[in-house]
Amino acid sequence: MFDIHEIRSQFTILNQQVNGKPLVYLDNAATSQKPNSVLEVWTQYYTEINANVHRGIHTLSQLATEEMELSRRKIQKFINAKHDFEVIFTKGTTEGLNLIAYILTQKLKKDDEIIISYLEHHSNIVPWQMLCERTGAKLRVIPIDENGILQLDYLDQYLSEKTKVVSVNQVSNALGVVNPIEEIIAKTRKNSDAYIVIDGAQSAPHFTIDVQKMDCDFFVFSGHKMYAPMGTGILYGKQEILEDLPPFHGGGEMIATCSFDGTTYAGLPFKYEAGTPNVGGNIALGAAVDFIEKIGHSTIQNHENALLEYAQRQLLEIENLKVYGEKANRTGVVSFNLEGTGISSDVGMILDKMGIAVRTGHHCTQPIMDFFNIAGTVRASFAIYNTFEEIDLLVEGVKKAQRMLS
Ligand code: 7TS
């Protein structure tokens, strides 16, 4: 049985007052809080093990290496990768996407095409624009309708032998819309030889991920949005693709041999992990996977979906409140505005005075805001430890903000 009080007791940070009110943390799409089990593993690493990995004969170095490689295998299982060496440690989704866009440089030429969508976070837009600048390739963008749903007939139109990359998110961070990536991947495979990149920043914390079943070429996500420390993330890539592509950073640990006559590269995953990694964070990411798996994906999803439905139902009862993406299949996020009350940050500041943490603004998705012709939204986003009472406080707070601002 799922015991929310027991779950909350594992998050010391939640048990505090902010501005004289109990903290209501609803900014989980930006970053989740970390359970004590994750913090303990992280602290234990620094108090008992701290040593560099893959390079020492001494005991602590071997221990650090074993722990980090154990974590890699946990993550391999978590996303159902075929091999542990297809799991590359990064510092987050942004680094993963930049890495992919960089290593694909030689594979693109002038007038090739990269397909993304209107729903992308800036980190799944800008690295591709930079790749276009380097290569002369062109960006094509799948539009959305007024419910934030991707218009896939445009994907059908865009796909051709010129398409070299299709990169979309599984869940939109600004609207919470769940994208039909199975359909996107199937269409892409059928009509092009493009590399398929999935931004899983907002799906990995909520869904079961199976990269083999999905049949993507790359899947990237951030540890800090799924109960792990900041500065952690994963890039999954298919073995034959990672072996074929060049490295990203050059430096220690990514070489097989190095001399002034030339360098040969290490095998996977080390070819993509130059320099000292975030060992403590990477080990703690394994503990975050343990935390999620102990609760179970279906329990997490059921609870978060119930919170979302409860929040949306109550918010929609408020007059002049617009929920964006209301009619789409969504997860984890409700994004809204109080019409006629000025900017979203005013609502956010009033909520903050009541101890309620939400994000306001464009959420690093300016094209979505431009589409709806708004500067930003108020976004509440949920995690396993949120409660229905917290949603009641949010709704009360929004009503109060409306009274104060109108
Ligand atoms: N892609 C998506 C879909 C995201 O939601 C984010 C972060 C990123 C990429 C970048 O992840 P990072 O860990 O490298 O920063 N999204 C948010 C957000 O919605 N609020 O703050 C960060």
Give residue limits of the domains in the chain. Answer: 4-30+296-405, 39-293
Residue of 222, 224, 227, 366 with the most ligand 1 atoms within 8 Å of its CB, for mutation: 222
Residue of the CA atom closest to atom 21 of ligand 1: 30
Answer yes or no: are the C-beta atoms of 221 and 214 closer than 8 Å: no
Give residue 89's identity as a one-letter amino acid code. Answer: F
92 CA: nearest ligand 1 atom: 14
The rounded Å distance from CA 212 to ligand 1 centre is 24
Residue of the CA atom closest to atom 17 of ligand 1: 30
Structurally, at CATH architecture level, domain 39-293 sits in 3-Layer(aba) Sandwich (3.40)
Burial 250-273 (b: 16+ CB within 10 A, else e): eeebbbeeeeeeeeebbebbbbbb
**Is the per-residue pLDDT at 1 higher than 70?**
no
| CATH class label, 4-30+296-405 | alpha beta
Residue 335 beta carbon below 6 angstroms from any ligand 1 atom? no
In the chain, % of residues over pLDDT 70? 100
CA distances (Å), origin 364, targets 27, 94, 212? 14, 12, 29
Tokens of 1: 């049985």
- Which band of pLDDT confidence, cut at 50, 70 and 90, is reported for residue 200? very high
Residue of 26, 32, 121 with the most ligand 1 atoms within 8 Å of its CB, for mutation: 121
Question: What is the model's pLDDT at position 271?
Answer: 97
- Which band of pLDDT confidence, cut at 50, 70 and 90, is reported for residue 342? confident
In 143-291, at which residue ranges do the beta strands (DSSP E only) sit? 163-169, 195-199, 218-222, 233-237, 255-259, 262-265
Answer yes or no: are the C-beta atoms of 371 and 241 closer than 8 Å: no
The rounded Å distance from CA 94 to ligand 1 centre is 7
Residue 30 beta carbon below 6 angstroms from any ligand 1 atom? yes
| Cα 25 from chain centre | 18
Residue of 89, 225, 232, 364 with the most ligand 1 atoms within 8 Å of its CB, for mutation: 364
Residue 90 beta carbon below 6 angstroms from any ligand 1 atom? no
Q: Is the peptide bond before 269 cis (omega within 30 degrees of 0)?
A: yes
- Which band of pLDDT confidence, cut at 50, 70 and 90, is reported for residue 69? very high
DSSP H stretches of helix in 248-363: 279-295, 297-316, 344-353
The rounded Å distance from CA 258 to ligand 1 centre is 36
Residue partners of 387: CB distance under 8 A and separation at least 6: 4, 8
Mean pLDDT of 269-294: 97
Which residues are designated catalytic? 364
CA distances (Å), origin 67, targets 63, 199, 267, 290? 6, 27, 20, 14
Residue of 99, 220, 225 with the most ligand 1 atoms within 8 Å of its CB, for mutation: 225
What are residue 334's phi and psi, to 5 degrees? -125, 125
Mean pLDDT of 78-85: 98
Long-range contacts of 6-9 (CB under 8 A, 24+ apart): 7/295, 7/384, 7/385, 8/385, 8/387
Local structure of 47: helix, strand or coil: helix
What 8-state DSSP symbol labels residue 251? S
Residue 292 beta carbon below 6 angstroms from any ligand 1 atom? no
Average pLDDT, the chain: 97
Residue 93 beta carbon below 6 angstroms from any ligand 1 atom? yes
**Is the per-residue pLDDT at 151 higher than 70?**
yes
Question: What is the model's pLDDT at position 344?
Answer: 86
Residue of the CA atom closest to atom 5 of ligand 1: 173
The rounded Å distance from CA 344 to ligand 1 centre is 19
- Give the integer Cα–Cα distance in Å for 258 and 263: 4
Mean pLDDT of 62-73: 97
Residue located via tokens 């490689």:
69
The rounded Å distance from CA 395 to ligand 1 centre is 25
- Which band of pLDDT confidence, cut at 50, 70 and 90, is reported for residue 406? confident
Question: What is the model's pLDDT at position 14?
Answer: 98
- Which band of pLDDT confidence, cut at 50, 70 and 90, is reported for residue 89? very high
The rounded Å distance from CA 131 to ligand 1 centre is 20
Q: What is the pLDDT of residues 52-64, one digit of tens each?
A: 998 778 999 999 9
Mean pLDDT of 273-302: 97
Tell if the pTM clears 0.85, that is, is over it.
yes
Question: What is the model's pLDDT at position 55?
Answer: 74
Residue of the CA atom closest to atom 6 of ligand 1: 201
Residue 173 beta carbon below 6 angstroms from any ligand 1 atom? yes
Residue 325 beta carbon below 6 angstroms from any ligand 1 atom? no
The rounded Å distance from CA 235 to ligand 1 centre is 14
Q: What is the pLDDT of residues 302-321, one digit of tens each?
A: 999 999 999 999 999 999 99
Answer yes or no: are the C-beta atoms of 198 and 210 closer than 8 Å: no
